[in-house]
Chain A
Amino acid sequence: MHEWALAEAVIAAATQIAAKEKLKQITEITIKIGELQQVETDILEFAFQQLKPANLKNTKFHIKSQKATLKCRVCGNTWLFARQQLDPAIVEAIHFIPETAHTYIKCPKCSSPDFEITEGRGIQLEKVTGVR
């Protein structure tokens, strides 16, 4: 349930944005979730429903998912993260701290751990809309 901590972060961030833009009500929040972190969207949505503070009473949450792309810095190879090929304990470590991908995953072409997570690492706040 560490999704709960991430949901709290999203709400804190959206609340800060709303304050800055003087929004009285937040109507919609769009977040993007990178597949590397394998966030359980059900748990995330449940956490949003439970946590909702007053200015988020009627907020609609949109959750988009994004494939995780890895690019080798040594040979230039690009590939997609696929959890199916990994041991469950490794999948769990990457779920908590996506950068541990560098501990367990190697470039399928040249075996280097020196790759870049170009897209789809974790959770991002894409858009917050509301009324003044």
Chain B
Amino acid sequence: MADPRTSIINQRLKHINRIIAVTSGKGGVGKSLIATTLALTLSKQHRKVGLFDLDFTSPSTHLILGTKDAQPKEEKGIVPPTINGIEYMSLIYYCSDKPTPLRGADTSNVLIELLAITRWSPLDYLIIDMPPGIGDAVLDLIRLVNRIEFLIVTTPSQLAFETVKKQAILLQQLHAPIIGIIENMKMTNTKNIQQQTEKLNLAYIGEIPYDPQVEDAIGDETKLLSTVIAQKITEITHRRL
């Protein structure tokens, strides 16, 4: 008995130029904010962009993006709605704002189903917002998506970086490409994380300051794009993407 869905996944993603998962060993470091802002800034640079929320039990990109009433369309699969110029897909469309408790095998099944039935347009970038850690989502993407690349987020905290280090080592062992590490919520000028990143033979691709104003920009594309966070991410895209 075979699962036919996994056989179609790479065919569905064939017309997407780069598939980038925004990940971290640690929770709460800014993955969702960075993934969403990255998608918006790339879209502003006239790239065709998709955003896919893989944090099924605690999704938040729909709030950051400010999704409107648009719904996915059923058309030989499902066609994601376009929100602020970005093609967007999340489990939120199927469970609205209700709690959806999922165990490991369930999250794998949701991931496989969504990858197998979602029909993205030809895109320059598909940005994936990951749940924290090195569990099902990371392992499934490596197993199922041939051209997956990882962008790792940490904070200046050694607690965050220790988990990021484990994740980076795992990804290296599995030969999964790592674009580099972003240091988010920076409040001082220490070079600590940069030095440790370079010791791991990874690219330190930029730092983003702590911005107390960002809460007010959540759900508002214009405000979000005018934050210092968006400015820094735009610089990173120029240098690294």
Which residues of chain B have C-beta atoms less than 8 A from A113's C-beta? 99, 101
Interface of A is mostly: helix
The answer to the question of B222 belonging to the interface, with a C-beta cut-off of 8 Å to chain A, is: no
The answer to whether B95 and A9 touch across the interface, beta carbons within 8 angstroms, is no
The answer to the question of B238 belonging to the interface, with a C-beta cut-off of 8 Å to chain A, is: no
The answer to whether B98 and A12 touch across the interface, beta carbons within 8 angstroms, is no
A117 to B102, CA, bound (A): 11
The answer to whether B113 and A122 touch across the interface, beta carbons within 8 angstroms, is yes
Which residues of chain B have C-beta atoms less than 8 A from A117's C-beta? 106
Which residues of chain A have C-beta atoms less than 8 A from B74's C-beta? 1-2
The answer to the question of B7 belonging to the interface, with a C-beta cut-off of 8 Å to chain A, is: yes
Q: Which of B75-83, B159-167, B204-212 contacts A (4 or more CB under 8 A)?
A: B75-83
Q: Nearest-CB distance from A49 to chain B (Å)?
A: 14
Which residues of chain B have C-beta atoms less than 8 A from A126's C-beta? 1
Which residues of chain B have C-beta atoms less than 8 A from A4's C-beta? 76-77
Which residues of chain B have C-beta atoms less than 8 A from A45's C-beta? none
The answer to whether B91 and A8 touch across the interface, beta carbons within 8 angstroms, is no
Residues of B within 8 A of A (CB): 1-8, 11, 74-78, 91, 94-95, 98-103, 106-107, 109-110, 113-114, 116-117, 119
The answer to the question of A86 belonging to the interface, with a C-beta cut-off of 8 Å to chain B, is: no
A-B contacts, 20 listed (Cβ < 8 Å): A1-B74, A1-B75, A2-B78, A5-B76, A5-B78, A5-B119, A6-B4, A8-B8, A8-B11, A9-B4, A9-B5, A13-B4, A14-B4, A97-B110, A97-B114, A113-B99, A114-B101, A114-B103, A122-B113, A126-B1
Which residues of chain B have C-beta atoms less than 8 A from A122's C-beta? 5, 109, 113
Interface size in chain A (residues, C-beta < 8 A): 33
Interface positions, chain A 87-125, Cβ under 8 Å from B, are 93, 96-100, 102-104, 113-114, 117, 121-125
Residues of A within 8 A of B (CB): 1-2, 4-6, 8-10, 12-14, 16-17, 31-32, 93, 96-100, 102-104, 113-114, 117, 121-126
A100 to B24, CA, bound (A): 26
The answer to whether B2 and A125 touch across the interface, beta carbons within 8 angstroms, is yes
Residue from B4, B75, B100 in contact with A102 in the complex, judged by beta carbons closer than 8 Å: B100
A8 to B77, CA, bound (A): 10
Query: Given A8-B8, A12-B8, does the pair A100, B76 have CB atoms closer than 8 Å?
Result: no
Query: Given A100-B100, A103-B100, does the pair A9, B78 have CB atoms closer than 8 Å?
Result: no
Output the nearest chain A residue to B98 by Cβ-Cβ distance.
Answer: A103
The answer to whether A124 and B77 touch across the interface, beta carbons within 8 angstroms, is no
Additional A-B contacts beyond A96-B94, A97-B110 (4; CB < 8 A):
A9-B7, A14-B4, A99-B110, A124-B1
The answer to whether B106 and A13 touch across the interface, beta carbons within 8 angstroms, is no
Q: Nearest-CB distance from B25 to chain A (Å)?
A: 25
Q: Nearest-CB distance from B19 to chain A (Å)?
A: 19
